Chains A and B, each alone.
Chain A
Amino acid sequence: KNQVEQSPQSLIILEGKNCTLQCNYTVSPFSNLRWYKQDTGRGPVSLTIMTFSENTKSNGRYTATLDADTKQSSLHITASQLSDSASYICVVSAKDSNYQLIWGAGTKLIIKP
Protein backbone atom coordinates (compact mmCIF):
# COMPACT_ATOMS: atom_id res chain seq x y z
CA LYS A 1 0.00 0.00 0.00
CA ASN A 2 1.35 3.45 -0.90
CA GLN A 3 1.97 5.37 2.30
CA VAL A 4 3.85 8.38 3.57
CA GLU A 5 4.74 8.64 7.25
CA GLN A 6 6.19 11.68 8.95
CA SER A 7 7.89 12.25 12.27
CA PRO A 8 7.72 13.84 14.66
CA GLN A 9 4.01 14.62 14.74
CA SER A 10 4.79 17.97 16.36
CA LEU A 11 7.88 19.89 17.36
CA ILE A 12 8.53 23.00 19.44
CA ILE A 13 11.85 24.82 19.13
CA LEU A 14 13.24 28.21 20.04
CA GLU A 15 13.66 30.92 17.46
CA GLY A 16 17.07 30.77 15.83
CA LYS A 17 17.53 27.03 16.35
CA ASN A 18 17.75 24.42 13.59
CA CYS A 19 15.48 21.42 13.20
CA THR A 20 15.03 18.38 10.97
CA LEU A 21 11.78 16.77 9.99
CA GLN A 22 11.58 13.19 8.72
CA CYS A 23 9.57 11.45 6.03
CA ASN A 24 9.43 7.74 5.16
CA TYR A 25 7.50 6.47 2.18
CA THR A 26 6.51 3.17 0.59
CA VAL A 27 5.28 4.59 -2.73
CA SER A 28 6.20 2.54 -5.78
CA PRO A 29 7.11 3.16 -8.50
CA PHE A 30 8.47 6.45 -7.26
CA SER A 31 8.31 9.62 -9.34
CA ASN A 32 9.03 12.57 -7.09
CA LEU A 33 8.84 13.80 -3.53
CA ARG A 34 7.63 17.23 -2.43
CA TRP A 35 7.67 19.18 0.78
CA TYR A 36 4.85 21.63 1.38
CA LYS A 37 4.48 24.29 4.06
CA GLN A 38 0.96 24.94 5.27
CA ASP A 39 0.18 27.87 7.52
CA THR A 40 -2.85 27.47 9.76
CA GLY A 41 -6.04 28.03 7.80
CA ARG A 42 -4.24 28.38 4.47
CA GLY A 43 -3.53 26.14 1.49
CA PRO A 44 -0.19 24.29 1.19
CA VAL A 45 2.70 26.02 -0.55
CA SER A 46 5.40 24.02 -2.31
CA LEU A 47 8.93 24.27 -0.87
CA THR A 48 10.83 21.69 -2.94
CA ILE A 49 10.28 18.92 -5.48
CA MET A 50 12.89 16.17 -5.81
CA THR A 51 13.21 13.36 -8.30
CA PHE A 52 14.86 9.97 -7.94
CA SER A 53 18.26 11.28 -9.03
CA GLU A 54 18.39 14.24 -6.65
CA ASN A 55 19.92 13.84 -3.19
CA THR A 56 19.52 17.36 -1.90
CA LYS A 57 17.73 20.55 -2.81
CA SER A 58 17.68 23.90 -1.04
CA ASN A 59 15.18 26.73 -0.94
CA GLY A 60 16.58 29.50 1.22
CA ARG A 61 16.81 28.23 4.80
CA TYR A 62 15.05 24.99 3.84
CA THR A 63 17.13 22.01 2.67
CA ALA A 64 15.52 18.75 1.65
CA THR A 65 17.38 15.47 1.27
CA LEU A 66 16.28 12.29 -0.42
CA ASP A 67 17.59 8.75 -0.10
CA ALA A 68 15.70 6.76 -2.73
CA ASP A 69 17.32 3.50 -1.61
CA THR A 70 16.00 3.69 1.94
CA LYS A 71 12.92 5.67 0.84
CA GLN A 72 13.57 8.43 3.32
CA SER A 73 13.56 12.19 3.07
CA SER A 74 14.29 14.96 5.52
CA LEU A 75 13.60 18.66 5.64
CA HIS A 76 16.17 20.74 7.53
CA ILE A 77 15.31 24.26 8.62
CA THR A 78 18.21 26.51 9.52
CA ALA A 79 18.08 29.49 11.86
CA SER A 80 14.34 29.16 12.44
CA GLN A 81 12.11 32.23 12.44
CA LEU A 82 8.70 32.78 14.01
CA SER A 83 7.18 32.71 10.51
CA ASP A 84 8.35 29.11 10.11
CA SER A 85 5.59 28.04 12.49
CA ALA A 86 3.39 25.88 10.27
CA SER A 87 2.68 22.30 9.27
CA TYR A 88 5.20 20.71 6.95
CA ILE A 89 3.80 18.00 4.73
CA CYS A 90 5.76 15.39 2.78
CA VAL A 91 4.04 14.32 -0.44
CA VAL A 92 5.06 11.58 -2.85
CA SER A 93 3.96 11.09 -6.43
CA ALA A 94 3.96 7.69 -8.09
CA LYS A 95 4.92 7.21 -11.72
CA ASP A 96 2.02 6.95 -14.12
CA SER A 97 -0.18 8.67 -11.57
CA ASN A 98 0.38 12.24 -12.55
CA TYR A 99 -2.66 13.55 -10.80
CA GLN A 100 -2.64 11.74 -7.50
CA LEU A 101 -0.31 12.68 -4.68
CA ILE A 102 0.16 10.57 -1.56
CA TRP A 103 0.19 12.92 1.41
CA GLY A 104 1.73 12.51 4.82
CA ALA A 105 -0.13 13.76 7.88
CA GLY A 106 2.42 16.52 8.39
CA THR A 107 4.66 17.74 11.21
CA LYS A 108 3.32 20.70 13.15
CA LEU A 109 6.25 23.00 13.91
CA ILE A 110 5.99 25.74 16.52
CA ILE A 111 8.74 28.33 16.86
CA LYS A 112 8.85 30.08 20.22
CA PRO A 113 10.56 33.44 20.78
Chain B
Amino acid sequence: DTGVSQNPRHKITKRGQNVTFRCDPISEHNRLYWYRQTLGQGPEFLTYFQNEAQLEKSRLLSDRFSAERPKGSFSTLEIQRTEQGDSAMYLCASSLDPGIFYEQYFGPGTRLTVT
Protein backbone atom coordinates (compact mmCIF):
# COMPACT_ATOMS: atom_id res chain seq x y z
CA ASP B 1 0.00 0.00 0.00
CA THR B 2 1.50 3.31 -1.07
CA GLY B 3 -0.70 5.65 0.94
CA VAL B 4 -3.96 7.51 0.53
CA SER B 5 -5.04 8.01 -3.07
CA GLN B 6 -7.64 10.37 -4.47
CA ASN B 7 -9.30 10.58 -7.85
CA PRO B 8 -9.56 12.60 -9.91
CA ARG B 9 -6.66 14.93 -9.12
CA HIS B 10 -8.30 17.80 -10.95
CA LYS B 11 -11.91 18.47 -11.88
CA ILE B 12 -13.31 21.41 -13.83
CA THR B 13 -17.07 21.65 -13.92
CA LYS B 14 -19.75 24.16 -14.78
CA ARG B 15 -21.89 25.73 -12.11
CA GLY B 16 -24.93 23.61 -11.39
CA GLN B 17 -23.34 20.28 -12.29
CA ASN B 18 -22.82 17.42 -9.85
CA VAL B 19 -19.35 16.06 -9.10
CA THR B 20 -18.11 13.02 -7.22
CA PHE B 21 -14.66 12.44 -5.76
CA ARG B 22 -13.19 9.19 -4.58
CA CYS B 23 -10.74 8.47 -1.76
CA ASP B 24 -8.94 5.19 -1.12
CA PRO B 25 -7.41 5.18 2.37
CA ILE B 26 -4.46 3.19 3.66
CA SER B 27 -5.84 -0.33 3.73
CA GLU B 28 -5.76 -1.07 7.46
CA HIS B 29 -7.01 2.40 8.49
CA ASN B 30 -10.51 2.40 9.91
CA ARG B 31 -10.96 6.17 10.06
CA LEU B 32 -11.41 8.39 7.04
CA TYR B 33 -11.70 12.17 6.95
CA TRP B 34 -12.67 14.75 4.35
CA TYR B 35 -11.36 18.32 4.39
CA ARG B 36 -11.70 21.35 2.16
CA GLN B 37 -8.83 23.77 1.64
CA THR B 38 -8.88 27.14 -0.07
CA LEU B 39 -5.83 29.07 -1.18
CA GLY B 40 -3.71 30.38 1.66
CA GLN B 41 -5.73 28.65 4.36
CA GLY B 42 -5.35 25.49 6.38
CA PRO B 43 -7.70 22.57 5.71
CA GLU B 44 -11.25 22.83 7.10
CA PHE B 45 -12.82 19.69 8.51
CA LEU B 46 -15.90 18.44 6.66
CA THR B 47 -16.71 14.97 7.97
CA TYR B 48 -15.24 11.69 9.18
CA PHE B 49 -16.05 7.99 9.17
CA GLN B 50 -15.23 5.23 11.60
CA ASN B 51 -15.43 2.19 9.34
CA GLU B 52 -18.70 2.70 7.41
CA ALA B 53 -20.35 4.94 10.01
CA GLN B 54 -20.32 8.70 9.42
CA LEU B 55 -19.75 9.98 12.96
CA GLU B 56 -19.41 13.71 12.55
CA LYS B 57 -20.31 16.37 10.00
CA SER B 58 -19.19 19.97 10.03
CA ARG B 59 -21.64 22.81 9.56
CA LEU B 60 -19.64 23.50 6.40
CA LEU B 61 -21.17 20.37 4.91
CA SER B 62 -24.33 21.83 3.41
CA ASP B 63 -27.23 19.75 2.08
CA ARG B 64 -25.58 19.77 -1.33
CA PHE B 65 -22.70 17.71 0.03
CA SER B 66 -22.92 14.02 0.80
CA ALA B 67 -20.25 11.53 1.73
CA GLU B 68 -20.38 7.76 1.88
CA ARG B 69 -18.12 4.93 2.87
CA PRO B 70 -20.31 1.95 2.03
CA LYS B 71 -18.03 -0.94 2.93
CA GLY B 72 -15.72 0.82 5.31
CA SER B 73 -12.99 1.02 2.70
CA PHE B 74 -13.06 3.70 -0.01
CA SER B 75 -15.19 6.82 0.33
CA THR B 76 -16.94 9.15 -2.06
CA LEU B 77 -17.77 12.82 -1.65
CA GLU B 78 -20.50 14.17 -3.89
CA ILE B 79 -21.35 17.82 -4.42
CA GLN B 80 -24.68 18.51 -6.07
CA ARG B 81 -25.54 21.69 -7.97
CA THR B 82 -22.01 23.04 -7.67
CA GLU B 83 -21.45 26.73 -6.98
CA GLN B 84 -18.39 28.85 -7.67
CA GLY B 85 -17.75 28.98 -3.93
CA ASP B 86 -17.18 25.22 -3.97
CA SER B 87 -13.93 25.75 -5.86
CA ALA B 88 -11.23 24.41 -3.53
CA MET B 89 -8.87 21.52 -2.88
CA TYR B 90 -10.69 18.57 -1.33
CA LEU B 91 -8.40 16.50 0.85
CA CYS B 92 -8.94 13.03 2.21
CA ALA B 93 -7.03 11.57 5.13
CA SER B 94 -7.07 8.28 6.99
CA SER B 95 -5.93 7.12 10.40
CA LEU B 96 -5.94 4.08 12.63
CA ASP B 97 -8.10 3.89 15.74
CA PRO B 98 -6.62 3.21 18.15
CA GLY B 99 -3.40 4.70 16.95
CA ILE B 100 -0.72 7.09 17.96
CA PHE B 101 -2.58 10.40 18.36
CA TYR B 102 -4.82 9.25 15.55
CA GLU B 103 -2.16 10.51 13.17
CA GLN B 104 -3.79 11.39 9.88
CA TYR B 105 -2.20 10.55 6.55
CA PHE B 106 -3.32 12.73 3.70
CA GLY B 107 -3.92 12.04 0.05
CA PRO B 108 -2.78 14.40 -2.73
CA GLY B 109 -6.19 16.07 -2.94
CA THR B 110 -8.69 16.76 -5.68
CA ARG B 111 -8.68 20.31 -6.98
CA LEU B 112 -12.17 21.41 -8.01
CA THR B 113 -12.73 24.43 -10.24
CA VAL B 114 -16.31 25.53 -10.80
CA THR B 115 -16.73 27.87 -13.77
A residues with CB within 8 A of B = 4, 31-32, 34, 41-46, 49, 51, 89, 91, 93, 98-101, 103-106, 108
When C-beta atoms are compared, the residue in chain B nearest to A46 turns out to be B103
Which residues of B sit under 8 angstroms from A49, Cβ to Cβ?
100-101, 103
The smallest beta-carbon distance between A109 and chain B, in angstroms, is 14
When C-beta atoms are compared, the residue in chain A nearest to B45 turns out to be A100
Cα distance, A66 to B115, chains bound together (Å): 43
Which residues of A sit under 8 angstroms from B104, Cβ to Cβ?
46, 101
Check A43/B102 contact, CB under 8 A, given A99-B48, A105-B40. no
What are 20 of the A-B contact pairs (CB < 8 Å)?
Answer: A31-B101, A32-B101, A41-B108, A42-B108, A42-B109, A44-B43, A44-B106, A45-B106, A49-B101, A49-B103, A89-B42, A91-B42, A99-B33, A99-B56, A101-B45, A103-B44, A105-B40, A106-B41, A106-B42, A108-B40
> Once the chains bind, are A41 and B93 in contact (CB under 8 Å)?
no
- B111 close to A (CB within 8 Å): yes
Q: Which chain B residues in 85-111 approach chain A with CB under 8 Å?
A: 89, 91, 93, 97, 100-109, 111
Check A99/B31 contact, CB under 8 A, given A43-B91, A43-B106, A89-B42. yes
Which residues of B sit under 8 angstroms from A43, Cβ to Cβ?
4, 91, 93, 106-109
When C-beta atoms are compared, the residue in chain A nearest to B44 turns out to be A103
The smallest beta-carbon distance between A98 and chain B, in angstroms, is 5
Which residues of B sit under 8 angstroms from A91, Cβ to Cβ?
42
> Contact mask B59-96 → A, CB, 8 Å, 1/0?
00000000000000000000000000000010101000
